């Protein structure tokens, strides 16, 4: 029933994609769906539910033959929306679809659906809760295998179950607290009821906090992992981007400072969605356009989940050979330069030595020594999400340097590649894929489902806030305000799944406590 007490309109829409296709599915939902089925299928009675029948599909008034198609009847409540539903599977030609729209619109009380109206009805009829609706939306938009798995799990109710169970447990807590407020003096109420309620609330709060501290893995998987390619000019950053996405997305040239703006490319790496960013080569420069490019590159470095730092292997080896013992600190310093400082052009103490070293198209670790204090700030845990790529291995001309090279340093992976020959690329992509997988939560089907949306994070943070207030009021002995904080928690929880009702609380009180029996 709608606000004026009338049954809602019967709605229809094309449920398969637009454009010419073999089969198109038109879905009808509402009280007149059965009528539409019998008229357009030329049937005297409704067919067996959920069994496809092949019929001539006709116009309800003129009886003109539109197409031959399958018709499926889904009587309420066993349908997607919970209402009577019909699916017409007809051929997907534009003229057929226009005729179908005309025919369905000719049936009284039937109209075209608005965007999302089927799903909205499914929600209103309790077929899906809000997290499941969101999961369905994500499933339709999923572009990679991992996104599909996460969305499917959410649509199937994994998050819903988790959030609903928290909510139900808090409802039990509030039932106890309210019983204590109302009947605390009576002997029917056990002594420790309040204490137990408080400790249960604390437990739930801890669980929510653990769920919130998931390193945003579910949101990352939903929105894509951000990977930034960083390094000095001409080391082959753009070449690397092009190799990974297998198209010439970024301009490559022998001129240092070719890339200025950030070049983004969305790619699927091992089933996970990734947003790759190629950036301007990092160097001190007076060119204002390039300077802005460097500023953007550093900014992107800070926002990225994974930093791929590219260096020229020849200059790396040259430098490393002379200071093998300092490799860790030198690399760290270089990364500090890349990821942490505000703007390398700000460093006032650039000496002539810096400039001469920059003309050496390679790693410029020593060149930054004089600003090491401000630059060496990268937190070591961030190194887990840094890959050092030693590019241009083809220029080593068969020299076996693998023996000399560290495979990792301070937890950071080191890969040697050649963007020119493709050598080492597969191994590098594997290392990258592994990091991305971990960032997205690894095994998607194990453990609790991930938090996937900022909306959930916001509401759950509110829940934690109210539960903290509850503990405080409880300790002060203010049961009334404590109960109020629980009620606010329940309201926020209700917003998560779309169920908000104070009736629930009453139900539990009367079900769990046989007061005055
Ligand atoms: N021999 C060899 N040359 C390479 C390799 N990768 C890139 N180059 C060359 O190195 C030069 C610079 O490549 P880019 O990809 O433009 O380098 P970049 O780091 O994006 O440069 P900027 O955008 O100027 O910072 C080009 O001439 C490439 O052809 C490689 O693996 N081997
Ligand atoms: K270049
Ligand atoms: Mg470039």
Q: Which of the four pLDDT bands, split at 50, 70 and 90, describes residue 447? A: confident
Whether 403 has a pLDDT exceeding 60, the answer reads no
Ligand 1, atom 14, lies closest to the CA of 236
Helix locations, 288-413, DSSP H: 288-303, 313-322, 327-339, 352-358, 372-375
One domain, residues 282 and 368: yes
From the list 223, 280, 228, the residue with the least C-alpha distance to 256 is 280
Phi and psi dihedrals of 387, rounded to 5?
-120, 125
Contacts of 443 (CB under 8 A, 6+ apart): none
Mean pLDDT calculated for residue range 23-38? 96
Q: Which ligand is nearest to the CA of 392?
A: 1
One domain, residues 372 and 240: yes
Q: Which of the four pLDDT bands, split at 50, 70 and 90, describes residue 357? A: very low
Phi and psi dihedrals of 92, rounded to 5?
-90, 40
Residue 259 Cα to ligand 2 midpoint, Å, equals: 7
CATH (domain of 315): 3.40.50.300
Q: Which ligand is nearest to the CA of 235?
A: 1
Mean pLDDT calculated for residue range 95-108? 95
One domain, residues 225 and 210: no
Whether 160 has a pLDDT exceeding 60, the answer reads yes
Phi and psi dihedrals of 32, rounded to 5?
-90, 5
Q: Determine the Cα–Cα distance for residues 262 and 277; give it in Å rounded to an integer.
A: 6
Whether 341 has a pLDDT exceeding 50, the answer reads no
| Tally of domains in the chain | 3
Q: 311 is written with which tokens? A: 């260096």
pLDDT digit string, tens, across residues 119-137: 888 888 888 888 888 888 8
Nearest atom in ligand 1 to 239's CA: 15
Contacts of 400 (CB under 8 A, 6+ apart): none
Pocket of ligand 1 (CB under 6 A): 233-239, 252-254, 256-259, 281, 391-392, 394-395, 418-420
Ligand 1, atom 1, lies closest to the CA of 392
Whether 507 has a pLDDT exceeding 50, the answer reads no
Q: Which of 232, 233, 234, 338 to mutate to test the pocket of ligand 1 (most atoms within 8 A of CB)?
A: 234
Q: Determine the Cα–Cα distance for residues 416 and 425; give it in Å rounded to an integer.
A: 8
The answer to whether 193 and 176 are in contact (CB under 8 A) is: yes
Residue 130 lies in a domain: no
One domain, residues 361 and 487: no
pLDDT digit string, tens, across residues 56-98: 999 999 999 999 999 999 999 999 999 999 999 999 999 999 9
Boundary-marking domain end, from 99, 124, 149: 124
Q: Which residue has the higher pLDDT, 228 or 358?
A: 228
Residue 104 lies in a domain: yes
* Residues by chain with Cβ below 5 Å of ion ligand 3: 237-238, 258-259
Lowest-confidence region among 124-133, 273-282, 355-364, 451-460: 355-364
CATH (domain of 165): 1.20.120.430
511's enclosing H/E stretch is helix 503-512
Q: What percent of the chain has pLDDT over 70?
A: 78
C-beta atoms surrounding 398 within 10 Å:
6
One domain, residues 271 and 165: no
Which structural domain range is residue 73 located in? 10-124
The full DSSP string for 182-206 is HHTTSTTS-TTHHHHHHHHHHHHHH
pLDDT score recorded for residue 183: 77
Q: Which residue has the higher pLDDT, 207 or 508?
A: 207
Residue 253 Cα to ligand 2 midpoint, Å, equals: 4
Q: Which residue has the higher pLDDT, 311 or 321?
A: 311
Ligand 1, atom 27, lies closest to the CA of 254
One domain, residues 384 and 413: yes
Q: Which of 229, 236, 308, 315 to mutate to test the pocket of ligand 1 (most atoms within 8 A of CB)?
A: 236
């Amino acid at each position: 029933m709608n606000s004026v007490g009338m049954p809602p309109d019967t709605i229809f829409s094309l449920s398969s994609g637009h454009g010419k296709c073999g089969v198109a599915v038109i879905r009808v939902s509402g009280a007149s769906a059965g009528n539409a089925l019998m008229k357009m299928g030329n049937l005297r009675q409704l067919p067996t539910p959920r069994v496809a029948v092949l019929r001539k599909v006709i116009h309800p008034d003129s009886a003109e033959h539109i197409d031959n198609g399958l018709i499926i009847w889904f009587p309420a409540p066993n349908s997607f929306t919970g209402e009577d539903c019909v699916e017409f599977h007809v051929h997907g030609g534009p003229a057929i679809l226009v005729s179908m729209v005309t025919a369905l619109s000719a049936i009284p009380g039937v109209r075209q659906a608005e965007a999302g109206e089927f799903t909205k009805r499914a929600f209103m009829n309790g077929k899906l809760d809000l997290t499941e609706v969101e999961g369905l939306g994500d499933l339709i938009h999923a572009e990679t295998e991992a996104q599909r798995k996460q969305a499917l799990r959410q649509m199937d109710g994994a998050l819903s179950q988790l959030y609903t169970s928290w909510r139900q447990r808090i409802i039990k807590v509030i039932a106890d607290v309210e019983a204590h407020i109302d009947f605390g003096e009576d002997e029917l109420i056990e002594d420790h009821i309040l204490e137990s309620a408080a400790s249960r609330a604390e437990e739930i709060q801890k669980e929510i906090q653990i769920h919130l501290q998931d390193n945003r893995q579910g949101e990352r998987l939903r929105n894509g992992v951000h990977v930034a390619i960083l390094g000095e000019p001409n080391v082959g950053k753009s070449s690397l981007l092009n190799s990974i996405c297998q198209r010439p997305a970024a301009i490559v040239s022998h001129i240092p400072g070719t890339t200025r703006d950030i070049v983004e490319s969305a790619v699927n790496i091992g089933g996970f969605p990734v947003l790759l960013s190629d950036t301007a080569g990092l160097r001190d420069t007076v060119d204002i356009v390039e300077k802005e490019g460097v500023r953007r590159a550093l900014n992107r470095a800070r926002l990225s989940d994974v930093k791929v730092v590219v260096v020229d292997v020849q200059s790396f080896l040259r430098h490393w050979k002379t200071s093998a013992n300092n490799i860790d600190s030198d690399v760290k310093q270089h990364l500090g330069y890349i990821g942490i400082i505000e703007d390398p052009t700000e460093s006032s103490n650039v000496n002539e030595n810096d400039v001469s070293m920059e003309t050496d198209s390679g790693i410029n670790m020593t060149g930054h020594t004089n600003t090491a204090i401000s630059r060496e700030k990268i937190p070591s845990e961030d190194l887990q999400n840094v890959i050092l790529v030693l590019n241009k291995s083809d220029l080593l001309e068969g020299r076996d340097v693998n023996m000399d090279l560290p495979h990792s340093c301070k937890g950071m992976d080191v890969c040697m590649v050649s963007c020119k020959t493709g050598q080492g690329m597969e191994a590098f992509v594997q290392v990258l894929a592994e990091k991305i997988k971990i960032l997205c939560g690894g095994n998607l089907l194990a453990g609790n489902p991930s938090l996937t949306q900022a909306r959930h994070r916001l509401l759950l943070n509110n829940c934690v806030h109210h539960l903290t207030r509850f503990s405080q009021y409880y300790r002060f002995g203010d049961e009334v305000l404590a109960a109020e904080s629980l009620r606010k928690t329940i309201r926020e929880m209700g917003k998560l799944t779309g169920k908000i009702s104070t009736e629930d609380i009453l139900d539990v009180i009367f079900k769990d406590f046989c007061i005055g029996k």
